[in-house]
Amino acid sequence: MMIAMEPLPYLPLVLALLGAPMLRSVINRTKAWFAGRRGPPLLQPYRDLRKLLSKGAVYSRTTTWMFRMGPAVGLSTVIVAALLVPMATIAAPFAFVGDLFLFGYLLALGRLFTVLAALDTGSPFEGMGANREVYFSALTEPVLLLCLATLARQTDSLSLSRIYPAVGVFSWSDATPLLVLVAAAMLIVFLTENARIPVDDPTTHLELTMIHEVMVLDHGGPDLAFIEYTVALKLWVVGQLIVGIFVPATQLTLWGAMLADVVGLFVLAVLVGVVESTMARLRMPNVPQLLLGAGALAAMAWLLVLQVGS
Amino acid sequence: MILLVSGLVVMVLAGVAALGCRRIPRLAGTIAVSGVLSGSALALMGAFGALTGRAPARFTLSTAIASANALANDSGALAIDALGAFFLLVVLVVSSLAAIYGLGYLERNTRTGASWFFFNVLVASMAFVVVADDGFLFLIAWELAALSSYFLVVQHDERAEVRRAGWVYLVAAHVGAAFLVVFFVLLGQHAGSLRLVSLAGPLSNAAPLHVMFVCALIGFGTKAGLVPLHPWLVEAYPVAPSHVSAVLSGAMSKLGIYGLARVLTLLDPQEPWGWTLIFVGSSSTVLAILLALPQRDLKRSIAYSSAENLGIVAMAMGLGVFALTRGNQGLAVVALAGGLLHVANHAVFKTLLFLAAGALQKATGTLDIERLGGLLRRMPITGAVFLVGALAICALPPFNGFASEFILLVTAFDTAISIPFPVDLSGLIVVLALGLASGLALACFARLVGIVWLGEPRSDSASAACEVGFLMQAPMIVLAIACLAIGLGVPWMLSGLERPIAVLMNTSSDMVGGVLKRFSAASLRTVVSVGAVLFGTIVALAVVRKLMLRDREVSQHVTWGCGYTATSSRIQYTGSSFAEPITELFAPLIPHESRIRLPTGTLPEAAELEKHTLDPCEHWLYAPAFRTIRSGLGSLRWIQHGRIRLYVLYIIVTLLVLLAWNVG
Amino acid sequence: MNTVLFEIVLVVVMIADIALLGTSRIPACIRIVAAQGITLGLLPVVVDHAERPHIIALAAITVVLRGFGFPWLLSRSLRMLGVPREIHPPLGYAMSTVLGVVILGYCFWLGARFEVTGSGMTRLVLPVALATILIGLMITIVRRHALMQVIGYLALENGIYALGVGLSIEEQLIVELGVLLDVFVGVFVMGIALHHLHHEIERPDVDLLDELKH
Amino acid sequence: MLTALFIVPLVAGVLALVVPRVVRRVLMPITGLVHVAIMVWAWIVRPPPELDGWIALDPVGQIFLSIASVLFLATSLYAAGYLAEEDPGWRDDIESPLPFINAPEAVFASCFLFFLASMTVVTLAQHFSLMWIAIEATTLATAPLLYFHRHKRSLEATWKYLVLCSVGIALALIGTFFIAVSGQTAGGHHIPLLLSELTRTGVMLEPTWLHTGFVFILVGYGTKMGLVPLHSWLPDAHSEAPSPVSALLSGALLNCACLGIWRTLQVYASAGQVGAARELLVGFGVMSVVVAAVFMVNQRDYKRLLAYSSVEHMGVIALGMGLGGPAAFAALLYAIHHSLVKSALFLLSGNILRVFKTKSAAEVRGALRTSPWTGGLWCAGMFAITGTPPFGLFPAKFAILQHAFAHGYVVIGIVCLLFFAIIFIGLTGTGLAMAQGEPPPALGGATRPQWLLVLPPAFLLTLSLVLGSYLPAPVHEVLTAAGATIEGAR
């Protein structure tokens, strides 16, 4: 498999770049609906981004180039990661054996730079956030790999662009329990990666209880815009990995499948909103338990795959 | 081959010369380093042929050693093939760079003559290990390397912890060598000769293959620092001068892998070995990085991560063994390629990290991360290269660490998919171990970079630090560039590994080359282009950001403290608290001793909590074992009670028993 | 050779062994060893018909040394040391005697395993000589007095002498010379050491010499 | 000319009693030099037997003679320096409150020379009785040497040495008798106790007598050699003797006793009965290694540490002899290197004792700083004695282990390796700590080396290093020939 040269494979990227902030609006609207409020307008995230991008910046005297690099690297990694994820039956622009690992490690790279930027400020709160971030992600990474390994084994393939269309084929007839387990585990990974309840609460106001938000306390202006956009894009990209499991892409037409994918993403956003409205954030010491639970689900899925295979 | 040998001789002679002019430290250093450099150049020229594929060369030293060892029939022979040449390259490149660095590092030391002498002997003997064709010579070179490095480790023997560390190292090296002695004895007995390189073929199944393998694994694994054989390493690496730590970790630990690789060519791989390697490798990987996390000593933390990386190599070899025993040659090629590539990568980034840590130590006088901080401002170059090293060791794209871990992950997935139960489980184990380890490595190095280089200085010595000299910078910069270059040039690197792997698998290099080429085409080339795209995106975004901020107001302020403005450096998050939650989660695996003094009374005094993480293997395995041996031996001490009458009784009883046994 | 005389000599030696084990007073022990020595001095004459003059000469020297020389030396040392008897022997006299008998039994058992051909040997030589040797050694073990150690050693030498003469080894001269040298070294050097010991420890008890251990 | 080998030191020994002090101190090294010269000459011309064949130079004897000769030269040089440093009058003892005085220097010098004479005879003797007498004479010559420092501990050591070695030597005499009898019973005619005769007619020897003789000789000479459990005197004597004497005792005297057993083994081998003897030697060897290890871990006295190490090495030599074949060759090689290294270490321990005034290893720190030469050589010696390459004990040890495994003594090989490791830990743990660290402040800075006290051990260690990597062909030949003597061809 090689690098795609025709325009079609880049379409999902364009969709992602354009539609990602909308996911956050959907989540916010859902939560507002549960709270009985009307919520911000759907285009509010775009407005926020524009506003931030047009501002100047204030930097801490403690910080170095590391702090300034953080948001740019974080955004780049998610954009490049988006280039690896297929949509519907469209293979990703970069599709090759093992691209799923590159996907995971790209997210890790972005995370490291966010963490380092946070530590660069010397602030105790940001240090704490950084600490929690690396702690929880150390536990999610093997879960994500295990989930993908299960799918890979099931589809005998080592590329996201092959796995996902194939998942659509066999999916729900012969491997329902397996897919449910994988999807559940991946949902937890998704929530953790994107710093959502029950792992993290993006809307809290108490620094001591934050993870992601506290890390970016000192950023402002275009840097903060990059970060906000990164968050949105990450929701979209990682969300696709879950939605892809449910969309039987090969049974639909190309455009139908694309549509289903996008709709699926918004359903996922609504689901996130529902979860955030009905659940409380876990206590920090309980988070690892949740993640290990996800690991257990993934392991079960793996064992099922083995059972089938042998 | 003559070139190679003369290169090594030059090295040793330069060492002797350095010892001779020890009264003029600067001259001694210059002589020794130029000896290492010119010797390495000569030796690599000699080895070049082997790496590029001409027939293995042989060279017989002399019959002198042959006669010292009564039985080995071809003692004293040196030979080099592609596998040896690969390791020779790693050893000599690392050592040369470390030597240049050492020249700057030891600048103000006075007692450098002996230090340089041992350094040169160490480098030469490591090279001898790799080119020894005769097991006996191998052992001699092996022990010589251990011995010379011991003297380097204890260079600052006025400190008690250095003496202790050195001794632990010595004991570990000796015990490891004892297992190798058993291995070679059995090899000699069953193969009829001690040839390592120019052997006739793998040993038949009549030999006690499993016993031999276990002996070799323990012996070589000790040098590599695989868990549970690692405790010496975390003692010795930190206390050694940093250029020596770099050589120990970057070059010497690889000799353990070299040994294991040789063993796989000498003995027919068996499936249980795959399990052993996977098990040892995965537990090394996870446990070592877990232990690296809470360390306060920067070099100790890096040392633990050395054990982690060698564990990764062991897992790669384990997968290779599985693929070989199942006859899946293609998979074996890729697994071993991943392993060898990781050997080279680890040599590059671990050397880099140790050198940078040494620069830090020289600039600040401490390695305690709780006393460092804010150094990126003060030592921009060293900080940047340390960051590169950290990125590489966390296996983040597009650096070299990612390349090898990527290959390994693909192999593991492939194993899990294509090889039937129960071997496919091994693939899963590798995936899980690598996943967990890379997450933990990220945490570990985020902590090291963040606490040491970023934020505000935590002590006066840290705030007074300034950048080190060019002699120390240059090798680090070279290594940092190598991290990126290997990461982006992986497909071409792999084609260089073709012949070493062919030797390792005892097959033709065409087959290996074909497999590697297909693998490169299927994924590695694309990985590289993604890396390039990533690089481009980052640059583009940075430029965009710069352009946007160009005409706007950019101001400086103190860090936002949530309203608290009187911040000081003491308020920062500490390294210990950064590590605490994770170590707490894995508490059953990590023993610790804590001392707590709670506030009591109406006017409580200051409360105190002290917590030390201990090494589980040391704490639960070696310490009790040594205690048992010690007390067991101690309980026999009454034998020598000082009573002469009973001494006579010993003689009589011996006599009577022997008479009765002999005559009756 | 006169077998009856030969055996009588051996029996006397044997009795002396047991007596040595059962005696507490050191002067008496000295006398017993002396008597044993004199008896043994007769052995070459009994065995060899006294045809060769140097044998007679050696026998005479043996008698003089073992019967009178060494006992005199030992008595002198004893006077110097000043403690004429064994105090608290590690093994009581009764038990020592029993032990002596056990050793004799062992030696007879052992002796029976050897094929005795050659000239001039009775079946008694080997067991009795061995028993004397072992009992001499036993005395160094079950007695604490420094002088008793020397006496034990002397008994050991008596046993060796008996063995050497009784087995009538070809190079008889060597045997005699060897045994003499041995006994000389033992008694003289030990005597000198005893002399120094007297200055270093308060009583001649070898168990006080236990500073060097482990 | 062979006779001169022991006449020269004998005469010199007598002379030492009468000449003035200055001459006496020079006399010892000169005698050593002459002795080495004759020894080298003997390597070149291979002199014929003398005194009716009672004295001859065969390969085994030649090896042990060379060891003794070289060691004597080194230790006599050292002794000259040592005596010059010794305080002649009453002085305070380091371990007890009582003061002590040295024995007269004349006695020391002449006994030292007599010691060489007697050892030379041991190595040359072809007749069992002569060899026995010579070994006895070594005891006689060494007892006054042990009691050079006249304090209670050295007296105790001397007493134990005397009693135990006398018992041992007496047992060896009995063994010699038994061997004589075994030759006597063979068809009515006597086989003389000459080695050549006995090995020629070995098959005619009566087995029961021979076996018993061997047991007695093994226990007897084994006591002198220091095999466990007969070794009890050895740590005391070696640690309490003056350092040059310890060096010679450990390096040369133990070998002489070993030679006694070797000779008997030769007879045994020619009788084709060597099997049982081998088992005994292997057993003693392993026991020695094990028990020595017990005392080398946590040993507080560094001279005792070295002494126990001698017990261990004698055990290894016994093991090698017991295994036979190439292991016998290795055992001889091992004996050579052990002698060189151990003597060097004892000499160095004398230097350390002189500087630090204590035998407690825990109180010695920073020898590398107070006396760099002694400290450096001490470290090198520690590694040499534990069989670390490139020193010569390593190949020998390797070969012995190789044969232990090859001959099915797998368990024994493993036990040995385990205890070698324990010994390594005990020895280096104590020994290296003495060289490293900061010296006690009372000692002040580095002192200028006293060359007479540093060069001899340096020479011995260098010799071991050189022989470890390069064994000249003639030596190899002689070693091979010597190793073959206990092969038991028939």
Q: What is the pLDDT of residues B111-168, one digit of tens each?
A: 788 899 999 999 999 999 999 888 888 998 999 999 999 999 998 888 899 999 999 9
Q: Could you give the CA distance from residue B238 to residue D95 in angstroms, rounded to a whole number? A: 40
Which range marks the domain in which residue A54 is found?
9-309
* Mean pLDDT on D384-409: 89
CB contact (8 A) between residue B424 and residue A309: yes
Measured in residues, chain A has a length of 310
> Do B390 and B352 reside in the same domain of the chain?
yes
> pLDDT at position B66, please?
46
CB contact (8 A) between residue D163 and residue C153: yes
Q: Where are the alpha helices (DSSP H) in B326-366?
A: 329-364
pLDDT at B71 over 50: no
The dihedrals phi and psi of B297, each to the nearest 5 degrees, come to -85, 120
Q: How many CB atoms lie within 10 A of CB C141?
A: 24
> pLDDT at position C173, please?
67
* Mean pLDDT on C159-177: 75
Domain for residue D490, yes or no?
no
> pLDDT at position B63, please?
44
pLDDT tens, D86-110? 877 888 887 777 888 888 899 999 9
D244: which 2 tokens? 């040059």
Domain for residue A4, yes or no?
no
Q: Could you give the CA distance from residue D3 to residue A276 in angstroms, rounded to a whole number? A: 106
Chain A: give the shortest CA distance to residue B355, in Å.
Answer: 21
Q: Could you give the CA distance from residue D174 to residue D202 in angstroms, rounded to a whole number? A: 19
Instruction: State the total domains in chain D.
Output: 1
> Do B585 and B629 reside in the same domain of the chain?
no
> pLDDT at position B61, please?
54
Domain for residue B457, yes or no?
yes
> pLDDT at position C166, please?
78
Q: Could you give the CA distance from residue D400 to residue D331 in angstroms, rounded to a whole number? A: 7
* DSSP states along B371-417: G---HHHHSHHHHHHHHHHHHHHTT-TTSHHHHHHHHHHHHHHHHHH
Q: Which residues of D310-333 are buried (b: 16+ CB within 10 A; e: fewer)?
A: bbbbbbbbbbbbbbbbbbbbbbbb
pLDDT tens, C99-150? 999 999 999 888 888 776 555 566 788 899 999 999 999 998 999 888 888 8
* Mean pLDDT on D423-432: 92
Which range marks the domain in which residue D10 is found?
2-484
Q: Of B591, B626, B642, which residue is a domain's last?
A: B591
* Mean pLDDT on B427-449: 93
pLDDT tens, B492-523? 889 889 999 998 988 888 899 999 999 998 88
A9: which 2 tokens? 């494979």
Which range marks the domain in which residue B398 is found?
274-520+572-591
- pLDDT confidence of B73, banded at 50, 70, 90? very low
Q: Please report which helix (H) or strand (E) contains residue B192, including its range.
A: none
Instruction: State the total domains in chain A.
Output: 1
Which residue from B minimizes the CA distance to C211? B642
Which of the residue ranges A79-83, B606-610, C47-51 would you say has the lowest mean pLDDT? C47-51
- pLDDT confidence of B252, banded at 50, 70, 90? very high
CB contacts, 8 Å: B483 with chain A = none
The dihedrals phi and psi of B59, each to the nearest 5 degrees, come to -155, 130
* Mean pLDDT on B8-32: 90
> ω into residue B398 within 30 of 0, thus cis?
yes
Q: Could you give the CA distance from residue B352 to residue B355 in angstroms, rounded to a whole number? A: 5
For the CA atoms of B8, B10, B16, B18, the dihedral, rounded to the nearest 10 degrees, stands at: -120
Report D:393-422 residues touching C (Cβ under 8 A): none
CB contacts, 8 Å: C109 with chain B = 664
pLDDT tens, A188-199? 999 999 989 888
CB contacts, 8 Å: B633 with chain D = 293-294, 297-298, 422
> pLDDT at position B417, please?
82
pLDDT tens, A93-129? 999 988 999 999 999 999 999 999 999 998 888 899 9
CB contact (8 A) between residue D469 and residue B67: no
User: Is D152:C211 a contact under the CB 8 Å cutoff?
Assistant: yes
B612: which 2 tokens? 């030390």
Q: Amino acid letter at B297? A: D
> pLDDT at position B67, please?
44
pLDDT tens, D115-140? 999 999 999 999 998 999 999 999 98
- pLDDT confidence of D188, banded at 50, 70, 90? low
> pLDDT at position D164, please?
92
* DSSP states along D423-471: HHHHHHHHHHHHHSSPPPGGG-SPPPP-HHHHHHHHHHHHHHHHHHH--
Mapped onto helix, strand or coil, the DSSP state of residue B136 is helix
pLDDT tens, C53-85? 777 777 788 888 888 888 998 898 888 888 888
Q: Tokens 């059995």 sit at which residue? A: B186
Residue to substitute from B378, B381, B454, interface A, most A β-carbons within 10 A: B454
> pLDDT at position B70, please?
44
Residue D208 sits at the chain C interface (C-beta within 8 Å):
yes
pLDDT at B72 over 60: no
Pick from C114, C153, C179: CB nearest D166: C153
> pLDDT at position B572, please?
87
Domain for residue A243, yes or no?
yes
pLDDT tens, B355-393? 999 999 999 999 999 999 999 999 999 999 999 999 999
> pLDDT at position B3, please?
85
First to last CA, chain A: 29
Q: Average pLDDT, whole number, for chain D?
A: 90
Q: Tokens 């956050």 sit at which residue? A: A24
Mapped onto helix, strand or coil, the DSSP state of residue D102 is strand
Residue D3 sits at the chain C interface (C-beta within 8 Å):
no
Q: Could you give the CA distance from residue A218 to residue D453 in angstroms, rounded to a whole number? A: 72
Pick from B140, B629, B655: CB nearest D171: B655
Mapped onto helix, strand or coil, the DSSP state of residue B133 is coil
Q: Please report which helix (H) or strand (E) contains residue D142, including its range.
A: helix D128-146
Pick from C167, C174, C196: CB nearest D155: C196
> Do B374 and B515 reside in the same domain of the chain?
yes
CB contact (8 A) between residue B637 and residue D295: yes
ipTM of the complex: 0.90
CB contacts, 8 Å: B646 with chain C = 141
> Do B583 and B651 reside in the same domain of the chain?
no
The domain limits of chain C are 3-208
Q: Output D182 or B254, whichever has higher pLDDT.
A: B254
A208: which 2 tokens? 């001591």
In this prediction the pTM is 0.92
Helices and strands in chain A, H and E counts: 11, 1
Q: Tokens 């002189």 sit at which residue? A: D354
Q: Tokens 């000449």 sit at which residue? A: D19
| DSSP 8-state assignment for residue A87 | B
| DSSP 8-state assignment for residue B522 | I
Q: What share of chain A is helix, strand, coil (3-state, %, to 5)?
A: 75, 5, 25
